Amino acid sequence: MAGNANGEVAPAREAHDADCLDLRDVNLVCHDWGGIIGLRLVAEQPQRFASVVAANIGMPTGQTPVSEDLRKWPEIARQMPEFPIGRMVSMGCTGGLTDAEIAAYDAPFPDETYKAAARSFPALIPITPDNAAVPDQLRAWETLDRFDRPLRCAFSDMDPFDKGGNRALEKRVPGAQGQTHTAITGGGHFLQEDRGAELAQVVVAFLGRVHGGAQRG
């Protein structure tokens, strides 16, 4: 993932890696920033992907309303005197995290000087029409509107940020038609922390179905 001169986050490194490794038949499971970057990569190189599971993500274009929490998040991140990453992840979980888990999320960031990128990321989300990423997001949707490989949404029911982000994917992406989209109950934004086992079951069942296995989802 890299930022360009306009301050936009673009999947440049991921696209380069996919080319170098000549990745094929990729089954993508994407969440949060991994979703914005991952779906952009799907749009740029759709031939490399066999299927997609999208979990608590959106593909905003700055042209439709977003949740109030997401709308406020860039300014909150900019103004916070301290940026407690582990604690913020814990706040995004319905059950919270243990002290040890919070410490693990904090470990890569010994002090505030290490958090410049994390602090700047929220402002890069294309939720306003003037965001530099909007033209590329719109172009990505042109491809996603034709993407016919299987795509399944697995969103949690208690995510204040991306709640409803599944609707555009389920409605617009051809590969999402006829899929058994899942609402994972009791999960917050970080559903892999709150409901990791349930998410894994959805993914395994979906891949079994996509690849003709015995499991159905």
Catalytic positions, please? 32, 159, 189
Contact between 151 and 54 (Cβ < 8 Å): yes
Residue type, 89: V
Euclidean distance between CA atoms 93 and 205, whole angstroms: 24
Q: How far is CA 60 from the centre of its chain?
A: 11
Euclidean distance between CA atoms 29 and 46, whole angstroms: 15
Q: How far is CA 59 from the centre of its chain?
A: 8
Please, is 8 exposed, middle or buried when counting C-beta atoms within 10 Å of its C-beta (0-12, 13-18, 19+)? middle
Please, is 147 exposed, middle or buried when counting C-beta atoms within 10 Å of its C-beta (0-12, 13-18, 19+)? buried
Q: Per DSSP, what are the bridge partners of residue 209? A: none
Euclidean distance between CA atoms 185 and 139, whole angstroms: 33
Phi and psi at 213, nearest 5°, equal -80, -175
Phi and psi at 164, nearest 5°, equal 90, -10
